Amino acid sequence: MATSEAYMRTPTQQAWRRFMRSSSGKAGLLIVGFFVLLALLSPLLMPYDATKDRNLRERLKPPSVEHVMGTDELGRDIFTRVIHGSRISLRVGVFAVGIAVVVGTFLGLLAGYFGGRIDMLISWLVDIMLSFPSILLAIAIVAVIGPGISNAMIAVGIVQIPIYARLTRSVVLSLKEQDFVAAAEGLGASRGRIIFKHILPNGLSPLIVQATLSIATAILDAAGLGFLGLGAQPPQPEWGLMISKGFLYFTRAPWISLFPGVAIMIAVLGFNLLGDGLRDALDPRTSR
């Protein structure tokens, strides 16, 4: 009876049940959901204008009842800035990964399906980009186009394009030999329809998992650029920039850098755990 009920479930229902059996997935979903709600509701629950926030009489105050995470060198409340910093970090992560997914997937589809010179050209481009450490390549791109949060999104997105190009190419190479693709070709379907209606939908699972994991990497890269002064610019409450500004006062007021660093760690951990849970859920061979 239980076996027959399992066969009656849709693939989506089966994937959800596998996900709910994953402890890491549920923990990651809880953490990510918390940060998403924090980012969405912070302007309503705690309105904040970074350009007008400073109180030199309260500078470098340690954590207390009034200031839960203390204050920085300009007397700004760290707790408020960490909460509003979640909006910037999540936005950078989502938009950067969005750029990488769209461009990288498109290149991978072309390389995997058409092969030949197109595959060779795209593979060479991908190999060249992968020969550079991602953070160094992002620094070089921002140095060329200029510092700023928008340019940091673009730079982080560009350095992640090779990941999706390679992943999509490998998926397409395995799927285009399947019977359903041969059947579509036999029925006279156009190449565009075969790629976007048959191959791509069947290869989304690894892309979804990789995108979740890449958001964590994007948050780290954006924080690194912010720390170097190439990402978000003052007075924006971006976590990497907050760590950088607190570095000069670390011996006197370690809380300035400590709490933004903890926020980065928890957010990255949440997306990594969520990615692990999605990998278990979307892999039909998983039976835990």
3-class DSSP string for 13-34: HHHHHHHHCCHHHHHHHHHHHH
**Structure token pair of residue 229:** 């002064």
Q: Nearest CA to 217 among 177, 176, 267?
A: 267
Residue type (1 letter), 7: Y
Answer yes or no: are the C-beta atoms of 86 and 35 closer than 8 Å.
yes
In angstroms, the CA 70 to CA 152 distance is 28
**Structure token pair of residue 152:** 């940091």
Q: For position 284, what pLDDT does the model report?
A: 57
Answer yes or no: are the C-beta atoms of 63 and 70 closer than 8 Å.
yes
| Coil vs helix vs strand at 77 | strand
pTM of the model: 0.90
Q: Tell me the per-residue pLDDT of 96-123, one tens digit each, with 9 for 90 and over.
A: 999 999 999 999 999 999 989 999 999 9
Q: Return the minimum-mean-pLDDT range out of 39-53, 150-164, 216-230.
A: 39-53
| Coil vs helix vs strand at 153 | helix
In angstroms, the CA 283 to CA 209 distance is 10
- Residue extents of the structural domains in the chain: 92-288
| Coil vs helix vs strand at 65 | coil
The four Cα atoms 180, 13, 17, 19 give a dihedral, to 10 degrees, of 60
282 burial via Cβ count (<10 Å: 0-12, 13-18, 19+): middle
Q: How far is CA 36 from the centre of its chain?
A: 13
Q: Would the pLDDT of 1 be above 70?
A: no
Kindly state the average pLDDT of the residues 249-255.
93
Kindly state the average pLDDT of the residues 189-206.
90
Confidence of residue 287 (pLDDT cuts 50, 70, 90): very low
The phi, psi pair for 177, rounded to 5°, reads -95, 0
Q: Nearest CA to 109 among 205, 203, 206?
A: 203
Please report, for residues 89, 92, 237, 253, 263, the alpha-carbon distance to residue 247 in angstroms, rounded to integers and kept in the order given. 19, 23, 15, 9, 16
Average pLDDT, the chain: 90
Q: Tell me the per-residue pLDDT of 141-190, one tens digit each, with 9 for 90 and over.
A: 999 999 999 999 999 999 999 999 999 999 999 998 888 888 988 888 88
CATH architecture of 92-288: Orthogonal Bundle (1.10)
**Structure token pair of residue 256:** 């300035």
Beta carbons within 10 angstroms of residue 265's beta carbon: 11
Q: How far is CA 192 from the centre of its chain?
A: 29
Helix axes 161-175, 204-227, angle to 10 degrees: 170
